[in-house]
A and B are shown apart, each in its own frame.
Chain A
Amino acid sequence: EAQVTQNPRYLITVTGKKLTVTCSQNMNHEYMSWYRQDPGLGLRQIYYSMNVEVTDKGDVPEGYKVSRKEKRNFPLILESPSPNQTSLYFCASSFGGGRGYNEQFFGPGTRLTVL
């Protein structure tokens, strides 16, 4: 089944404790992206990747890191989480990037709470 998976789905952590949220897709998509969703703000893009070893900042990259060492995986790293990073996080993937027909397929989401 074609899908985007994220782990964990729920996470409660404390300020400053490094964490990684994994994202994996099995559709051989070049483009992958991370978003956070907060009430009243819609989705905001954190980072995106056009292909292996190619990443760039979205609108809200501060406090986050990413890497793209393999085409299928795009982990999101919070080196020192803070309470303002409490949010619902979505990973998404698509063929190509902004070019061509490129609907994004979204993962199930990760609800993160930072105390």
Chain B
Amino acid sequence: ELKVEQNPLFLSMQEGKNYTIYCNYSTTSDRLYWYRQDPGKSLESLFVLLSNGAVKQEGRLMASLDTKARLSTLHITAAVHDLSATYFCARTTSGTYKYIFGTGTRLKVLA
């Protein structure tokens, strides 16, 4: 079964702290995506990870991909309130153009 699991589902953290969101997937994937959704809003693309060992960084967010472990991580450095949102990982299945999304991680950064 094709699955994408994120953890934690909810994360409340203090400003200035570091934390990591994990995204595990069940079968070989072409590529891995991270999206952000603000409350009541649409989704915004953050990162596309194309190959094993890929690492991308934008501001306080860094995403990485380990295809052997079937794991992607989204690391938050020195969190600020503006990062409060729900973060989704997603993958495409090899040989098709289907997208499978994780259930999301709701992040709340407390001042």
Q: CB within 8 Å of B: which residues of A?
A: 31, 33, 35, 40-45, 48, 50, 56, 58-59, 90, 92, 97-99, 101-109
Q: How far is the CA of A40 from the CA of B102 in the complex (A)?
A: 10
Q: How far is the CA of A41 from the CA of B104 in the complex (A)?
A: 8
CB-defined contacts of B48 to chain A, threshold 8 Å: 101-103
How many contacts A-B (CB < 8 Å)? Answer: 65
Whether A90 lies near B43 (C-beta < 8 A) is yes
CB distance from B33 to the nearest CB of A (A): 7
Q: Of the candidates A90, A98, A108, which one forms a contact with B31 in the assembled complex, judged by CB atoms under 8 Å apart?
A: A98
Whether A58 lies near B98 (C-beta < 8 A) is yes
CB distance from A96 to the nearest CB of B (A): 9
Whether A107 lies near B42 (C-beta < 8 A) is yes
Q: How far is the CA of A3 from the CA of B46 in the complex (A)?
A: 17
Whether A33 lies near B99 (C-beta < 8 A) is yes
- Contacts A48-B98, A98-B30, A108-B41 supplied; 9 other A-B pairs, CB < 8 Å: A31-B97, A56-B98, A92-B43, A98-B31, A99-B30, A104-B33, A106-B42, A106-B44, A109-B42
Q: How far is the CA of A43 from the CA of B36 in the complex (A)?
A: 12
CB distance from A1 to the nearest CB of B (A): 14
The reply on B25 being an interface residue by CB < 8 A is no
Whether B30 lies near A42 (C-beta < 8 A) is no
CB distance from A57 to the nearest CB of B (A): 9
Whether A59 lies near B100 (C-beta < 8 A) is yes
CB-defined contacts of A102 to chain B, threshold 8 Å: 48
CB-defined contacts of A43 to chain B, threshold 8 Å: 43, 88, 90, 99, 101
| Residue from B44, B45, B50, B92 whose CB has the most chain A CB atoms within 10 Å | B45
Q: How far is the CA of A104 from the CA of B41 in the complex (A)?
A: 15
CB-defined contacts of B101 to chain A, threshold 8 Å: 35, 42-45
Given contact pairs A42-B101, A58-B98, A104 touches B88 in the complex (Cβ within 8 A): no
CB-defined contacts of A108 to chain B, threshold 8 Å: 41-42
The residue in chain A whose Cβ has the minimal distance to the Cβ of B95 is: A98
Whether B88 lies near A50 (C-beta < 8 A) is no
